[in-house]
Structure 1
Amino acid sequence: MPAYLRNVEDSYIVAPEAVNSAIMGFSNSFNDIDIQITRPLGSNAVLMYVVLGRTLRSVVILKGWLIEWVVIREGYDERRRNFKPMSESKIQSFQKVTDNANAAMLHFCAPTHPELSVKSFLTWLHSYITLFTQPCKKCGLHLSNNLPPTWRDLRTLDPYHEECKP
C-alpha cells in the first residue's frame, strides 16, 4: 500500500482516549470555549459540540482525527424551538460561517499530521468568538449587506466580509 494511503488510514484508526485527551487539552487552553465529546456510532466516530462563549454553537463530526462534517448554529430562536443539532442554521450569517468552516476543514486537512489539523481547525473556529464585535480588517465596518465579517483568513485569522476578503 502506498505511504500516502497508510497516513490517511492512520487518521481514521486512533485510540479514542488519545483523541479525547487532545481535544480536551485544547479546550482547556481557552477559557471561552466549551467542547463536549460523544461517541454515538462506536469508538471511532466522534461527535463534538463546540460552544464559543455566547457567540455560536457548532457540531463537528470526526472519524478518528479526520474532520468529516461541520455545521455552525446559534441564535436565540434556534436554541429554543425544535433544536436539531444536525440541521443547518436558518440565520444567514451562520450559514456563511458554516460554508467557511467546511472550506477550512478541507484546508487544514493534513493526513501526515492529523492531530495538528484538528487543533488548527479548532484554533481557526475559535477566532469566531469576535464574530459580532470585531470589524472587517479591510473596510473597517461591522456590517456589510447586513452581515458581520463572516470570513476569517486561514493564516492570520483576521475577519473580513465576503466581498472584502483578500
Structure 2
Amino acid sequence: MADAVNLEAFAQAIAAVQALRSSVTRVFDCLKEGLRNQGGLEEREKSFLGGVQEGLGAVTRDLSELERLSNLVGKPSENHPLHNSGLLSLDPVQDKTPLYSQLLQAYKWSNKLQYHAGLASGLLNQQSLKRSANQMGVSTKRKPKAQPTTLILPTQYVDDVISRIDRMFPEMSIQLTRPNGTSAILLVTLGKVLKVILVMRSLFIDRTVVKGYHENVHTDDGKVTDHATTALLHYQLPQMPDVVVRSFMTWLRSYIKLFQAPCQRCGRFLQDGLPPTWRDFRTLEAFHDTCRQ
C-alpha cells in the first residue's frame, strides 16, 4: 500500500515552491539591471557580484527546503479502483490472474476506440456528398423518402429497393434469391459483358464476385472483382444504405462498355492484353489499372 499524502507538508511544499520562484525572479532582476551607474566601476562590480551571490544563495536554500518537504509529502496511491472492481487488485496471485490490470487496459482502449469512432463518423458525414456516383436520370429536386434507421431492415423494403434499381438500369437484370430465408443474393447480369454475384446482409453488401459473361463463377476472382470490392469500401453511408446500393450499381453499370471505351489517359483500348478495367468512382471514366495512378 502506498503512503497517504501528508497534507500539512503538502501545504508547506507549495509555500516553498512560491519562495523558490521569488528567489529565482530576484536573481534574474539583478542580472537584468546589471551594473548600476552609482559610484566607480570597481564599486559597481562588487555590488553586482554581491547581489548575484546573495540571490543564488537564497535559491539554494529554498531549493533544499523544497526537496526536504517533498520527501515528507508522500506518494498518492497509484491504484484507481473502478467501484467494486478495485477489489481485484487485492488478488494475492496477481502474476497468475492479472484481472485488474487487464480491466484497466481494456477500459482505456474502450474510451480511445469510442473517441476515434466519433471522429471517423463526423468525417464520413462531412464527405457524404462526395461519395456517390452520378445518378443518371434522377432529379435533384425530388424529396427523398424517409429511410429506416436500423441496420435490420424489413425484407419487403429491401425487395422494393432492389426492384426500383432494376427498373432504373435497362441494361442490367437483377435476380434476387434468399437461399437461407433472410440474407439476399443478387445475380446481376450486365448485358453480355459481366455477371456479378452480390451477397447482402439486409441492404448492406458484404461480398461481391465479378466474372465474365461466359466464365465459371467458381474460378479465382479477377481484377474487376478487386475493383468492385474497393468500390464497396468507397461507397459507404450507413445512414442511407439504399443510396450506397444505387451508387454501386451506377458504378457497376459503367462496365457495359468494358471492351468499347478507351483509357482516358493513354487512349488505348488494350494494355498488356487487357482493356481498361478501372472506373473512376465519381466520373465513371475508364482507365487501365496502371494509368489511374
Report the TM-score when normalising by structure 2.
0.48
Higher helix share: 2
Matches within 5 A, 1:134-145: 134-145=261-272
Matches within 5 A, 1:11-90: 11=151, 13-43=152-182, 45-76=183-214, 78=215, 83=216, 85=217, 87-89=218-220
What corresponds to 1:131 in structure 2? 258
User: Alignment partner of 2:261: what SS?
Assistant: coil
State the identity %: 37
- Segments of structure 2 that go 5 or more residues without pairing to the other structure are 1-116, 122-148
Q: Which has the higher contact order (CA 8 A, sep 6+)?
A: 1
Count of residues in correspondence between the two structures: 149
Question: How far off its partner does 1:114 sit?
Answer: 0.8
Task: Tell me if structure 2 keeps the 8 A contact 1:66–1:109.
Answer: no
Report the TM-score when normalising by structure 1.
0.83
- Segments of structure 1 that go 5 or more residues without pairing to the other structure are none
Deviating above 2 A after TM superposition, structure 1's stretches of 4 or more consecutive aligned residues are: 87-90
User: Alignment partner of 1:115: what SS?
Assistant: helix
Q: CA separation in 2, counterparts of 1:65 and 1:56?
A: 22
Q: CA separation in 2, counterparts of 1:116 and 1:160?
A: 25
Letter in 1 for 2:150: D
Deviations 1:56-78, CA, capped at 9 Å, x for gaps: 001001101111000001243x2
Letter in 2 for 1:73: K
Question: How far off its partner does 1:89 sit?
Answer: 4.6
Task: Tell me if structure 2 keeps the 8 A contact 1:47–1:60.
Answer: yes
Q: CA separation in 2, counterparts of 1:32 and 1:51?
A: 8
Q: CA separation in 2, counterparts of 1:89 and 1:75?
A: 15
User: Alignment partner of 1:97: what SS?
Assistant: helix
Task: Tell me if structure 1 keeps the 8 A contact 2:192–2:213.
Answer: no
Deviations 1:46-65, CA, capped at 9 Å, x for gaps: 10000000010010011011
Higher strand share: 1
* Superposition CA RMSD, Å: 2.1
Q: CA separation in 1, counterparts of 2:247 and 2:192?
A: 22
Q: CA separation in 2, counterparts of 1:138 and 1:14?
A: 42
Question: How far off its partner does 1:22 sit?
Answer: 1.0
User: Which of 107, 111, 116 is the equivalent residue of 2:234?
Assistant: 107
User: Alignment partner of 1:10: what SS?
Assistant: coil
Q: CA separation in 2, counterparts of 1:96 and 1:53?
A: 19
